[in-house]
Chains A and B, each alone.
Chain A
């Protein structure tokens, strides 16, 4: 168990790499890139070794805890859920770092780049292995900081600076909800213990939180006339944080703009280090969600709707990275949808959803890195100026094709043949069908299946527009250097086979996340707490249902093939006709406009200008008025002080006379 004692190095090494590269990177090879690469490689090895230990013995997890300030602690928890995440994050981040040596080779600010990506990775690793919700929140915010720094990496560009701010502020809205959730959770726990928190335990540790689920679920409060359980409120607020971080509707607006940073940063954000944090948060606190079925349903609906909503916008975008950005939002929607299905399938929801998270990390990192390879070579992000890139960049083309097939979820049901997306995305769609079967509510299923069709359309549209046909402009591309193509190939292999190799093992491994020496949660009991029943053993779906995701996938491929390869329909005509639907989609449902113009500028900034008016004119007006008044009164009184003795004497006599009259009056009254 010696390797367990090195667990603290997993986030610490990349954090140290940040410090070293930031201050001393300038003098080193490639801006000090080797420091974070080495650090993350070691973190990756430690993560893999610990996870292998866990695989053999999943009920003995790594847990270390140290007192911090007041009544809080710092701690490390590596259970199966954290283990697979750690391996994925370190591995994908490592490949992206290696790729960046080639991709960023011409950028003068390399030390800053590698320092910040190292910190980004460290923060994400911190999120993953926190043993308490406060520490998780802290690392969560550091992830936000790093995304801000990296999206705004080319800060000279006004659009990059604006995108960075937008990302930070939008996710901050979610973060405030998350923080509110923590605050309400703490005060509820405080109430449960009658104000006497037991000595020696840290109430925000996950095991302590989970222990109190029945009590939290029994606490109620009234909101807008309806009685809501505290647990529901807390979990929904946590989910609010996840909505911000994982780009779920309506806080997804920052993610498409986040491509203002280098493409490698997009790959990090979209695959390994940022957007998965929200899904992970829900998975991490899943027992609490299990005790609050209403919250789970919200998770499912928001996720399903996001999956569909984002994929509609993915269809019309012309910027290659923007298509991928909407694809990420949509796929994250699937993961949330999968988690929401916990109301029927219990812990399997975590397995299915996390499995998609891991697979998605591989193929989405691959998609972005391929896109980066294309952009690096042709010098534009606009797909309308590409075309025929496949001929000059064969490796990039093949790896991109693999990634696209994985995203569209191609495979053969009933066999072990398929891309990784087939085993995870289609599994999510299957659970939604199961949900429909048991509750009669097929809406999540419809979300899932329609989004799958659109996914297939937009990704093959991207593929055909970029790689096939004739070159539409004279870009003169070339294949990328091997530091870029090798990571592509490794990821392509994983996107192809990881799903088939690990699916059953993965589910079984994650099933035991909450049953070990740190925490023991019976998911079935929690379901009873929420008054619903889980379904066990379900393998009787009709054949059509099993094949349905594949059918829509192929249909999408065909539609794209007809329009963008054979050009049966001339899309440019539809677009140029100022079609309402097209405009709506292309302008992203005007949501950006609503958030920036209406809420930020007109409402918030307008209100602040009103405040400024109050401050200057009213408050300062009163203050200056008092001082002016004092001076004015002084002026008037000054006139009385004439210096003429006669007038003083008159005043004295008048005063005495007045006093006598007053005294007489008083005496008479008495």
Chain B
């Protein structure tokens, strides 16, 4: 199994092509499910073989691609990437099972999901900036089509906004990549896009203004993706118009690419920027702003799905805050938040999708009393909401507790502000569920039925995983901590 990482990218890609060629929706979804389960098996195998004690890259594959420009095909995983590979491998089959009843152009629909998976797997495992950027942009295209074909009434606006917004951010990031590439080339005489090598050489770049520019350019690319306030407005629109499967993948894996960039690229560079303290303050400020602003905005929403979208912004703010604190366990807490939020947010978007599908509306004021007709959905949705508001025993709490506790050591003021968001977070979740699921049944909703067995199965599996990682986070947390320690040790190396 030397090429396991490549297979993780290749199998969904081939699956996508095969799915596209199918004639009926039954064939399409079966082939899609099989092709998405293969990476899950692969990811589980990698988890078992993974050595959590070393921060080094594992399962590395490296081939020259365009030697004259220093472009390589190089993939591998470490404690930062492995959990996210696992996350993508879990979320995609769950989404496919959830969408089992999709009948509009099912072959294209499932093919796009698989193509997205291939792109995401590529982003999380690429060790070459050239390759990384290709995969990064590759994820945009399936999502664009998922929104613009299967989306809601304002799908064109949302799809274009999503595409252009994140594409502009990617271009700024690309400028950063080129800058570091040419600068290192000029300094050492060796062209290379290899990520670890470039990050290592970053500190030797003479001009501190150049270093800061590279840092900020790439940071912009990542925080737009996360997204962080104030570069977030593309997300609610995209979510509202996207089909459920699109929203799930967008929130659960695409946003995580932004957070991944923070850990993979930004934090190793940070100690060597011209003014690390300023950069830390910027990150911490953006993090806390996202937490509070996202939570407040979620409270104001009238559309259930838009509320969940803003809650994503709020929760991703914890990732930024935990990363900025640069304490090993706050950084690994932030990584765990990415993993945990990926699982939890699936439940939330799936619930919203089911309500939209069955009740015909997601406007909270038009719902009410759904619990009486949809007990299974209510239980799963309440579970998801409780996980999202940070109930202990579930994975979200572990992440948020670690971030808040350990970030307090270096960033006490910011953490105290972030703590204010906890009550608001509980507030918008409970208020929404009170008005939609509890109370008197709204007669205008017509005939209602509970969620299908496929929907129950996918949501049930995710709920169990949220519980499992809430009780036993160590399987993914330990490997994260190993890498977080290494990242933080760079700070000491830089004498910051």
Q: A and B, one complex? A: yes
Which A160-180 residues have C-beta < 8 A from chain B? 160-162, 164-165, 168-169, 172-173, 175-176, 179-180
Which A567-613 residues have C-beta < 8 A from chain B? 600, 604-605, 607-609, 611-612
| Residue-wise interface mask of A (137-150) relative to B, using a CB-CB cutoff of 8 A (1 in contact, 0 not) | 11101100100100
A-side binding surface: helix, strand, loop or mixed?
A: helix
Compute how far the CA of A190 lies from the CA of B328 in the bound complex, rounded to whole angstroms. 13
Compute how far the CA of A571 lies from the CA of B296 in the bound complex, rounded to whole angstroms. 47
* B329-A169 in contact (CB<8A): no
* B398-A69 in contact (CB<8A): yes
* A187-B419 in contact (CB<8A): no
Residues from chain B with Cβ under 8 Å of A291 in the complex: none
| Residue-wise interface mask of A (200-219) relative to B, using a CB-CB cutoff of 8 A (1 in contact, 0 not) | 00000000000000000000
Size bracket of the A interface: 35 or more
> Is B397 an interface residue when CB atoms closer than 8 A count as contact?
yes
> Is B405 an interface residue when CB atoms closer than 8 A count as contact?
yes
> Is A547 an interface residue when CB atoms closer than 8 A count as contact?
no
Residues from chain A with Cβ under 8 Å of B481 in the complex: 70
* B439-A155 in contact (CB<8A): yes
Residues from chain A with Cβ under 8 Å of B391 in the complex: 141-142, 145
Compute how far the CA of A419 lies from the CA of B401 in the bound complex, rounded to whole angstroms. 45
Which A594-634 residues have C-beta < 8 A from chain B? 600, 604-605, 607-609, 611-612, 615, 619-620, 623, 627
Closest chain B residue to A618 by CB distance?
B230
Size bracket of the B interface: 35 or more
* A179-B233 in contact (CB<8A): no
* A604-B438 in contact (CB<8A): no
> Is B185 an interface residue when CB atoms closer than 8 A count as contact?
no
Q: With A69-B474, A158-B440, A169-B423 known to touch, is A611 a contact of B293 (CB < 8 Å)?
A: yes
> Is B346 an interface residue when CB atoms closer than 8 A count as contact?
no
* A608-B296 in contact (CB<8A): yes
Residues from chain B with Cβ under 8 Å of A161 in the complex: 434, 438-439
Query: Could you say which of B37-45, B195-203, B279-287, B424-432 contacts chain A?
Result: B424-432
- Name the residue in A134, A157, A607, A608 with the highest tally of chain B Cβ atoms < 10 Å from its Cβ: A608
Residues from chain A with Cβ under 8 Å of B398 in the complex: 69
Query: Could you say which of B103-111, B205-213, B409-417 contacts chain A?
Result: B409-417
* B424-A604 in contact (CB<8A): yes
* A620-B300 in contact (CB<8A): no
Least Cβ distance of A497 to chain B in Å?
39
Least Cβ distance of B71 to chain A in Å?
32
Residues from chain B with Cβ under 8 Å of A607 in the complex: 296
Residues from chain B with Cβ under 8 Å of A658 in the complex: none
Compute how far the CA of A615 lies from the CA of B310 in the bound complex, rounded to whole angstroms. 11
Least Cβ distance of B402 to chain A in Å?
7
Residues from chain B with Cβ under 8 Å of A412 in the complex: none
Residues from chain B with Cβ under 8 Å of A561 in the complex: none
| Residue-wise interface mask of B (433-457) relative to A, using a CB-CB cutoff of 8 A (1 in contact, 0 not) | 0100111110000000000000000
Residues from chain A with Cβ under 8 Å of B430 in the complex: 148, 164-165, 168-169
* A604-B233 in contact (CB<8A): no
Compute how far the CA of A69 lies from the CA of B478 in the bound complex, rounded to whole angstroms. 8
Q: With A138-B397, A172-B426, A611-B300 known to touch, is A69 a contact of B473 (CB < 8 Å)?
A: yes
> Is B372 an interface residue when CB atoms closer than 8 A count as contact?
yes
Closest chain A residue to B168 by CB distance?
A626
> Is A183 an interface residue when CB atoms closer than 8 A count as contact?
yes
Residues from chain B with Cβ under 8 Å of A641 in the complex: none
> Is B422 an interface residue when CB atoms closer than 8 A count as contact?
yes
| Residue-wise interface mask of B (131-149) relative to A, using a CB-CB cutoff of 8 A (1 in contact, 0 not) | 0000000000000000000
* B392-A142 in contact (CB<8A): yes
Compute how far the CA of A162 lies from the CA of B420 in the bound complex, rounded to whole angstroms. 22
Least Cβ distance of B233 to chain A in Å?
5
* A605-B300 in contact (CB<8A): yes
Residues from chain B with Cβ under 8 Å of A293 in the complex: none
Closest chain B residue to A166 by CB distance?
B430
> Is B112 an interface residue when CB atoms closer than 8 A count as contact?
no
| Residue-wise interface mask of B (149-164) relative to A, using a CB-CB cutoff of 8 A (1 in contact, 0 not) | 0000000000001001
Residues from chain B with Cβ under 8 Å of A615 in the complex: 233, 297
> Is A152 an interface residue when CB atoms closer than 8 A count as contact?
yes
| Residue-wise interface mask of B (285-300) relative to A, using a CB-CB cutoff of 8 A (1 in contact, 0 not) | 0000000010011111
| Residue-wise interface mask of B (362-376) relative to A, using a CB-CB cutoff of 8 A (1 in contact, 0 not) | 000000010110000
Compute how far the CA of A152 lies from the CA of B164 in the bound complex, rounded to whole angstroms. 45
Closest chain B residue to A195 by CB distance?
B409
> Is B404 an interface residue when CB atoms closer than 8 A count as contact?
yes
* B393-A71 in contact (CB<8A): no
> Is B477 an interface residue when CB atoms closer than 8 A count as contact?
yes
> Is A186 an interface residue when CB atoms closer than 8 A count as contact?
yes
* A611-B296 in contact (CB<8A): yes
Compute how far the CA of A180 lies from the CA of B413 in the bound complex, rounded to whole angstroms. 12
* A172-B233 in contact (CB<8A): no
Least Cβ distance of A613 to chain B in Å?
9
> Is A182 an interface residue when CB atoms closer than 8 A count as contact?
yes
Compute how far the CA of A268 lies from the CA of B415 in the bound complex, rounded to whole angstroms. 35
> Is A184 an interface residue when CB atoms closer than 8 A count as contact?
yes
> Is B408 an interface residue when CB atoms closer than 8 A count as contact?
yes
Residues from chain B with Cβ under 8 Å of A175 in the complex: 422
Q: With A156-B369, A161-B434, A168-B430 known to touch, is A608 a contact of B393 (CB < 8 Å)?
A: no
Residues from chain A with Cβ under 8 Å of B412 in the complex: 187
- Name the residue in A70, A152, A190, A605 with the highest tally of chain B Cβ atoms < 10 Å from its Cβ: A70
Residues from chain A with Cβ under 8 Å of B178 in the complex: none
Compute how far the CA of A161 lies from the CA of B473 in the bound complex, rounded to whole angstroms. 33
Q: With A70-B481, A138-B392 known to touch, is A608 a contact of B438 (CB < 8 Å)?
A: no
> Which 4 residue pairs of A and B lie closest in terms of their CB atoms, listed nearest first?
A161-B438, A138-B392, A608-B300, A612-B300
27 contacts between A and B (CB under 8 A): A70-B329, A70-B402, A70-B477, A71-B329, A141-B391, A142-B392, A142-B393, A148-B430, A155-B437, A156-B371, A156-B438, A156-B441, A158-B440, A165-B430, A165-B431, A169-B423, A172-B426, A176-B419, A176-B423, A183-B408, A187-B408, A187-B412, A604-B427, A608-B296, A609-B300, A612-B301, A627-B164
A interface, CB within 8 angstroms of B: 68-71, 134, 137-139, 141-142, 145, 148, 152, 155-158, 160-162, 164-165, 168-169, 172-173, 175-176, 179-180, 182-184, 186-187, 190, 600, 604-605, 607-609, 611-612, 615, 619-620, 623, 627
